[in-house]
Homo-oligomer: A and B are copies of this chain.
Amino acid sequence: MASYDLKNEVNDKYSLRGRVFQKLREDILSGKYKEHEELKEVAIGEELGVSRTPVREAFRQLELEGLIQIVPNKGAYVTGITAKDVKDIYMIRSLLEGLCARLATEKITKEQMEEMEENIYLADFHAAKGHMDQMAELDNRFHDILYEACDSKMLEHTLKDYHQYVLRVRQKTLSTNTRGRASNDEHRQIMEAIKSGDASKAEQLANKHMLNAYDNMVKNGLNEIYGDEAGVL
């Protein structure tokens, strides 16, 4: 299911649809297009200098990624994420990242383990320097390594979907210095559990890591952003 994804992305860089897709994806994730904003085929086509056809196809891909919704005969709208969605996603991720860590304990390769260690080491450095952007990127990469290491393309695909889905929210909330440090410490614990072959511990730690990340988001004003739209948090 996901085995060709990477290849496709590379190829897509050279197709108009691929370029439109990447541009729109970036603009949605960065917040240029707000929630529930309507995306019009001709407007975007003109802006990027292409016809409607590749734009329409890019729309379908964006829908596939969950970034927009297409309503027949009406239009394409940037997907809204409610506070409840975020809560549910972290609940689901908590279970699945745990499973992922458990599987990775048996399946992780030497190279993946080394990249993981390097990732944590680097994150320590950037945490000390207060480089929040690099921290965020390393955090993303850590989880991607974990997803790849579990050797299950079904699980990897699902986790990547959810991971990306919350990126929009996270960019605005995770950027507190203290959480960056704590998060990396938890990464280290997970890594060590995997390295020592303790699958249950790795599962438990990855589990908790997600719940902690969510708690931190709530503390740091998720309510202010996505607040009442979804009720309780």
Contact = CB atoms under 8 A, between A and B. Distances in A.
Interface of A: 1, 4, 7-8, 11-12, 15, 18, 56-57, 60-61, 63-64, 66, 69-73, 79, 84-85, 88-89, 91-92, 95-96, 99, 152-155, 158
A69 to B, nearest CB: 6
Contacts of A64: 60, 63-64
A72 B11 contact: yes
Nearest to A71: B4
A88 B12 contact: no
A1 B84 CA distance: 12
28 contacts: A1-B66, A1-B69, A1-B79, A1-B85, A4-B69, A4-B71, A7-B71, A8-B70, A11-B71, A12-B72, A18-B72, A57-B60, A60-B60, A60-B61, A63-B64, A85-B153, A85-B154, A88-B153, A88-B154, A88-B155, A89-B154, A92-B96, A92-B99, A92-B155, A92-B158, A95-B95, A95-B96, A96-B96
